[in-house]
Amino acid sequence: MKFATATLAVLAAAGTVSADNWLDQLGNSFKNKGQEIAACAKASSQLSCNAKYDIPASSSANCCFNGALVDGGKQSGLILSTQFWTSNAPDPANNGPKDSTTIHGLWPDVLIILLPRKQGYTCMLTMIFRSLVYAPSIFLFFLLVYEPPPFFLGSYTNDCLHLLQYCDGSYPSFCSSVSGIPEYTGAQIVDVMAKYDPALKAYYDKYFKDLNGDAPSFLEHEYNKHGTCYTTMRPTCQPKLPWISQADFAVLNYFRQIAHKFAELPTYDILKAAGIVPDANKTYQLADVQAALKQAHGATPFVGCNKKGEMNEFWYFNLVRGSVNFGHYEATESTTKSTCPATLKYLPKP
């Protein structure tokens, strides 16, 4: 096939333009990716709850910083590694090992308070909806108090709402509709562990116990309530790997991190080393329990008791640089007052 000289000239020019456009697009792609990497690296250096600059919720940097789920929110990221000491399960097997606490979870902290800036049904409906989504526990507050007190400080996020966030021990829950992180059933979580890390599943079989023996439902509850509330858990924040989906990768490593933090602080052994062992005939001082655990953790944890003054729960508080699954954890003081009396009981498991 022969082309006229003019035709060849046109094709050559078109090819040059096309090549130039392709190179421009490639250059912009590398530039954008480089900016994302730089923003992520900078964000991962910030200590959660204490970032020195604003990290918008919509920014890709929130893949590397446990920040706010919505734009306009203040930084958050107080993370609690929680454990049970159960001695009253209907089936003693569900108490877990006699010489160990059991795994509870890894919880995010954020409190979002929404206060109306002006009257109107639209504002009221928006306020009610967002309070139900982000902080159901304070929904009643809005029914009782509609006008914000004059001494409240903070910045308005729009004409209707006053948004505040604190790293104070309160927390969001079931955030999938806001975060975009998909919920999982207990069976799906068990399948992910069994497929990608059988040793992890065996570890959970031993140390993750539901009071009534339904561990998969408990796994489902813990993940959907807490795991969906971390910005760094979003599937789009996970690496693209040929053998595992991004969502499964997040789930797998979330439960790996829970197990890792649990193993780092063997509460039973820590207390035993301090002479505090389960005994139905003895009592112990809360201050002694807190001192022993603080020495191991680096900060005072929450120690929980039931209404009978029997010790049954431990929450270790942390701030984090980086993601919940792979970040560097730094111990911090509990923001929650112990529910134990000064003199408490530490019952053995039957």
Domains, the chain, ranges and CATH? Answer: 60-109+175-346 (3.90.730.10), 111-166 (no CATH)
With a cut of 60, say whether residue 14 has pLDDT above it.
no
With a cut of 90, say whether residue 122 has pLDDT above it.
no
Helix (H) and strand (E) counts in the chain: 10, 9
Mean per-residue pLDDT, 37-48:
92
Joined tokens for residue 211: 């009071």
Q: What is the pLDDT of residue 300?
A: 98
Q: What is the pLDDT of residue 138?
A: 42
Q: What is the pLDDT of residue 262?
A: 98
* Residue 283 falls in which region: left (phi positive, over 0), alpha (psi -120 to 50) or beta: beta
Mean per-residue pLDDT, 26-45:
74
Between residues 173 and 73, the one the model is more confident about: 173
| Contacts of 341 by beta carbon, 8 Å cutoff, 6+ apart | 286, 305, 309
Q: What is the pLDDT of residue 269?
A: 98
With a cut of 50, say whether residue 321 has pLDDT above it.
yes
pLDDT (tens digit per residue) in 154-200? 333 333 333 344 476 567 789 999 999 999 999 999 999 999 999 99
Joined tokens for residue 314: 């431990």
Q: What is the pLDDT of residue 154?
A: 31
Query: Using CB atoms within 10 A of its CB, is residue 49 exposed (0-12), middle (13-18) or buried (19+)?
Result: buried
Q: How far apart are CA 34 and CA 54, in angstroms?
A: 20
Cβ proximity of 170 and 110 under 8 Å: yes
Q: How far apart are CA 266 and CA 95, in angstroms?
A: 16
